[in-house]
Amino acid sequence: MYDSFMIQADSLKNDVVNGETVGFQFIVRLANYRGIYLSLASGFYVSVDGVEYGEDVQTLEINGKAPRTMAEIARAGFEHWDLQTKAILHIRKPGGLEKGRHDIGYMPATLDGYGYNAHDEEWVTNPPKPGTRGGGKTHHICMFDLELQE
């Protein structure tokens, strides 16, 4: 679902803090027909030119708040990610990305569902690794050919 649209095409750029390039960022959307409680976003599969970037280097900027780690996002049980809301996914990578085009692999991992399921208890301590299970309604890693913006 939204295979071509989960990442905003013109949003890939380097993250610069106090003159230092600390990583890169792009704008992401929910791959769903509904919004979800923000806590249900458990991470994102991200690869750039074949290199994967795990949850430990991901922070999510959403709802007008500063970027939060995925552990902080997990505690946002009363905050909502509306379907229409765009979020900025930051990836820590000293030096950022090189100029030019990049192949981005992307798939959100969200734990939204339809009532109680047999896997519930396991997922409290061991949620599916991003990229291994569909988040929302997208069931495979989608590829994006994006140009790094200035």
Applying CB under 8 A, the residues found at the interface with another protein are 1-5, 29, 33-37, 39-40, 74-75, 77, 80, 82-84, 111-117, 120-121, 123-124, 127, 137, 139-140, 142
Task: Give min distance, CB of 52 to another protein, in A.
Answer: 21
Nearer to another protein (CB atom), residue 19 or residue 78: 78
Residues in the chain: 150
Consecutive H or E run containing 120: helix 120-125
- Give the residue with the Cβ less far from another protein, 38 or 46: 38
Task: Please say which residue, 33 or 99, places its beta carbon nearer to another protein.
Answer: 33
How far is it, in rounded angstroms, from Cα 50 to Cα 54? 13
State in angstroms the smallest separation of the CB of 83 from another protein: 5
Minimum CB–partner distance for residue 98 and another protein (Å): 26
CB 5 to another protein: min, Å: 6
- φ, ψ at 146 (rounded to 5°): -120, 145
CB nearer another protein, residue 41 or residue 48: 41
> Looking at residue 121, what DSSP letter applies?
H
**Residues 6+ away with beta carbon under 8 Å from 115:** none
Count the neighbouring beta carbons within 10 Å of the beta carbon of residue 126. 9
Q: 59 CB contacts (<8 Å, ≥6 apart)? A: 67, 68, 69, 70, 89, 90, 92
